[in-house]
Structure 1
Amino acid sequence: MDWDRIQQKLHILSDAAKYDVSCSSSGSRRANQSGGIGNGAVCGICHTWSADGRCVSLLKILMTNRCIYDCAYCVNAASREAERAILTPEEIADVTIAFYRRNYIEGLFLSSGVYRSPDYTTELLIRTARILRDEKKFNGYIYMKSIPGTSAQLIRELGRYVDRLSVNIELPSAPSLRLLAPQKTKENILVPMGHIRQGILERREEKKHHKKAPSFVPAGQTTQLIVGATPDSDRTILRLSQALYDKVELKRVYYSAYVPAVTGPNLPAIAKPPLLREHRLYQADWLLRFYQFKADEILTDEAPDFDLDLDPKACWALRHPEFFPVEVNRASYHALLRVPGIGVTSARRICAARRQAFLSYDTLRRLGIGLKRAQYFITCKGKYYGATTDPVRIRQLLLAWPSARRGDHSPGRRRTGPVSR
């Protein structure tokens, strides 16, 4: 293998892939097999922070940045002047194995421009995955992008080899697609998602009867939405996310602040990416997935965009003074999850501890409850410990705390979940 030529291609294609944020730790249980190498079950795979705090790595590249589509926001658009390259399936497999043996990576995250056609591009992705699995005996994590418009048969075949698939929606509404990506349609994005979901459900049913039934996208499917490239409201984006979680059982929705790397007549003229808005979306997404909130509760017609000064959960609490304060010794688990400062773990601790005895304020402190925030929304044995019950004053007090205590962080640091509870 000509490593100098490969290195040149890698430099081009890894740089072209940097705007894709659809990375997460592995949900796969693909263990190593006799005679093989790699293991997707031991650790999370991707260039991100895993749920237990580890930083994990992967080879994140495009197969090619040649693309027949001309999306206005994309650095790899067909009309854009850029240095182009393509790696063959054999080259990608060889590089992946070489990097894995040197302990540079723990898996592969492979995306691609639409080369010739969606089906042709997917056939190349399948060939890459087949070489890694069948010829190289690679049992590590493989995450690939499903190309919008790909046929159901090819999606089913690709899903047999990979741990996770992603079909990127990118723009949250049909008018936005027509404006910035006219060659893409809502249907050719959502239909592949439906095929993946159906394949997952079928394989789940097969597993009930045959434990050794082959896997199909065991770590689930994800998507990515660009934030700030169009005038779509935060509510529009969040409602779409909830619909995807409900209808196609997505594992994750990733939000990517629009990076003004290219210019165009239909693109917004912004000085820097809206990273804090992206962070608020991640926080709200967390509320959808783990805190039993609905999108229409978090944002309304009257307030369709996030308050950038305060996290979404605190904003909801301040808009609903009739719900508070809740008595921690009697409130349901669902009600406790609505309290700012009380997360999933804290709510479970409270429910477990109060089976033994009534909880005091000091007991809550010993349980690690975030009382700096929660004190304004709870009572303990009937006593209220907050300085005020006025929502306007509570907001002022919450904003008076340093940003890290309010759930904010430096906009330059990307996270996949909220800091606040």
Structure 2
Amino acid sequence: MAVLDLKRKLAILSDAAKYDASCASSGGQKRDSRGGRGVGSTDGGMGICHAYAPDGRCISLLKILLTNFCIYDCAYCVNRVSSNVARARFTVQEVVDLTLGFYKRNYIEGLFLSSGIIRSGDYTMEQLVAVAKSLRLDHDFRGYIHLKLIPEASPELVNEAGLYADRVSINIELPKDDSLAALAPEKDLRVIKKAMGSVRLAAEAAKEPARTAPPPRFAPAGQSTQMIVGADGASDGEILKRSETLYGAYSLRRVYYSAFSPIPDSTARLPLARPPLVREHRLYQADWLMRFYGFERAEIVGEGEDLALDMDPKLAWALKHRGDFPVDLNTADRERLLRVPGLGVRSVDRLLEVRRLKRVRLEDVKRLSRGIAKLKPFIVTDDWRPGALADQADLADRLKAPPRQMSLF
């Protein structure tokens, strides 16, 4: 086999990593290196992806696979053992050197590292941990590190990964048990869930107050997972039900949704076309409602139903519950305000601050929200009542708008 140079490896293994959506640094601990000799900070080309923290910071990460060789044959994966793709493998030292080199050139602020399974789960996990351990201990790297965990690896290796990584993730892959069994027969859902549980227990143990020395920090940005959308027949309701269960059972920080992308030489059991990207977008919006707006999954979509593609799920809910509107912005509590279409978490919090100083008028709402046209049928202010506007039969049609991928509500 021909020996590949580092640039060619980077081209292959960064391209192979693009299918993993669970790459973000939200919740990452700031490891400021000012005043010390550490390398890297989470404040603030090829294989580089951009993630966004909760405060809006754009964080650049080197996103690569350790290798795209794999002993598994998951039907939906372009890197499966039977796939006819170019293969490459980094050494541990090559990944360490790339990360440090990219950082020192100000290209990145962290590393996202995943891998195909080679030899065994334990062997692969050892290699991933070795990269993070070398960066932290040998080079005092204080940038963000996200490691993909191998569910089949020993609990000891999984726990060690959490000591050096800011975030860890284990992909659940598909929302239905029978789909995983049919399309990824080497993977065992029980093993995946056990590994997720192990991470949760280790994270909780690290937060407990110690009687003597403080416990070691463990994956402070938590754990995440990814589900592929459209590779099987799962409805949006089934997908979100799985997410609801994962959030509750394993304290996940985030579930990522990745629209299935058809791959070469795939099985006839997979669809020939990818689902519309707006479906992925609506799932993120619904997920946001569950995590930050107090909605239960069953309020948003039934288990066997799909989300509407022509309007966001909060607007769809409001139109189904016209009796709950209009909402008086001067008297409603925070929970009620969060259910108003067009009002986000920050807008609601700023609105409550305004209410402490004065009565809210429509001009105040215009300053707080960019979607005043969407808001007007659902609100009451000191100088505005929707009147007949809220009862017009074409209200839903007038409020529909083409989705904007970067805007949630």
Normalized against structure 1, the TM-score is what?
0.89
**1:333 maps to 2:370:** no
1:98 aligns with 2:96: no
CA distance in 2, matches of 1:79, 1:53: 41
CA–CA separation in structure 1 for the residues paired with 2:175 and 2:392: 33
In the other structure, the counterpart of 1:7 is: 7
Q: Which moved more, 1:282-291 or 1:377-386?
A: 377-386
2:280 matched residue in structure 1: 278
Match for residue 214 of structure 1?
Answer: 216
Q: Deviations over 1:183-221 (max 9, x none)?
A: 112111111111111111111114x66685421101111
The question of 1:232 aligning with 2:234 is answered yes
Kindly state the Cα deviation for residue 148 of structure 1 after the two structures are TM-superposed: 1.9
Deviates more, 1:176-185 or 1:307-316: 176-185
Q: How far off its partner does 1:8 sit?
A: 1.9
Q: 1:37 to 1:383 in 2, by over 3 A?
A: closer
Structure 2 counterpart SS, 1:144: strand
In the alignment, what sits opposite 1:70? 73
Find the aligned partners of 1:420 and 1:166 in 2 and give their Cα distance.
24
Does structure 2 retain, via aligned residues, the 8 Å contact 1:109–1:143? yes
Contact 2:25/2:144 (8 A) holds in 1: no
Shift of 1:371: 2.4
Cα distance change of structure 1 residues 390 and 162 upon mapping to structure 2, 3 Å threshold: same
State whether structure 2 residue 25 is matched by structure 1 residue 22: no
In structure 2, what is the Cα distance between the partners aligned to 1:392 and 1:179? 46
Q: Which shows bigger deviation, 332-341 or 77-86?
A: 77-86
Task: Report what 2:172 is aligned to.
Answer: 169
The aligned counterpart of 1:398 is: 399
Kept after mapping to 1: 8 A contact 2:343/2:369: no
CA distance in 2, matches of 1:231, 1:391: 36
The one-character-per-residue Cα deviations of 1:108-164 (angstroms, maximum 9, x if unpaired) are: 110000111111111111111111111122121111100122221111111111111
TM-score by length of 2: 0.92
Deviations 1:348-395, CA, capped at 9 Å, x for gaps? 222222233332333333444632111111222495225433374210
Are 2:68 and 2:79, in contact at CA under 8 Å, matched by a contact in 1? yes
In the alignment, which residue of structure 2 is the partner of 1:294?
296
Please state how far the C-alpha of 1:68 moved relative to its aligned partner.
Answer: 1.1
- d(CA) in 2 for partners of 1:194 and 1:5? 40
User: In 2, Cα distance between the equivalents of 1:276 and 1:359?
Assistant: 35
Q: Following superposition of structure 1 onto structure 2, how do residues 136-151 of structure 1 map, counting pairs within 5 Å?
A: 136-151=139-154
Specify the SS of the correspondent of 1:11.
helix
The 2-side partners of 1:113 and 1:216 are apart by 24
Q: Which runs of 5+ in 1 are unaligned?
A: none
The aligned counterpart of 1:86 is 89
Q: Match of 1:20, as an amino acid?
A: D
**Could you tell me which amino acid in structure 2 is paired with residue 361 of structure 1?**
L
Would you say the 8 A contact 1:174–1:185 is kept in 2?
A: no
**C-alpha distance in 2 between matches for 1:139 and 1:322:** 52
What SS does the aligned partner of 2:172 have?
coil
Indicate if the aligned counterparts of 1:227 and 1:274 stay in contact, CA closer than 8 A: no
> Secondary structure of the equivalent of 2:19?
coil
Classify 1:49/1:161 alpha carbon distance in 2 versus 1 (closer, same or farther; 3 Å): closer
Cα deviations across residues 304-359 of structure 1 (Å, max 9, x unaligned)? 10110010000000111121122212111101100101111121222222233332
Q: Secondary structure at the match of 1:175?
A: helix
Residue identity matched to 1:216 = F
Match of residue 250 from structure 1:
252
Matched residue SS, 1:69:
coil
Counterpart Cα distance in 1 of 2:90 and 2:365: 57
Map residues 248-397 of structure 1 onto 2, 5 A cutoff: 248-262=250-264, 263-270=266-273, 272-301=274-303, 304-368=305-369, 370-381=371-382, 384-385=385-386, 387-390=388-391, 392-397=393-398
Tell me, what secondary structure is at the counterpart of 1:329?
coil
Cα drift, residue 107 of structure 1 = 1.3
Report deviation, 1:273: 4.2
Equivalent residue runs for 1:113-192 within 5 Å: 113-192=116-195
Q: Could you tell me whether the CA contact under 8 Å between 2:72 and 2:81 is conserved in 1?
A: yes
Compare 358-367 and 314-323 and name the one that shifted more.
Answer: 358-367
Sort the Cα spacing of 1:371 and 1:210 in 2 relative to 1 into closer, same or farther, 3 A: farther
Query: Aligned partners of 2:38 and 2:134: how far apart in 1?
Result: 13
Aligned pair count?
A: 401
Root-mean-square deviation (CA, aligned residues, Å) is: 2.2
Shift in CA distance, 10/142, structure 1 to aligned 2, threshold 3 Å? same
SS for the counterpart of 2:257 is: strand
Percentage of pairs with the same residue = 48
Query: Residues 392 and 252 (structure 1 numbering): CA distance in 2 closer, same or farther, change over 3 Å?
Result: farther
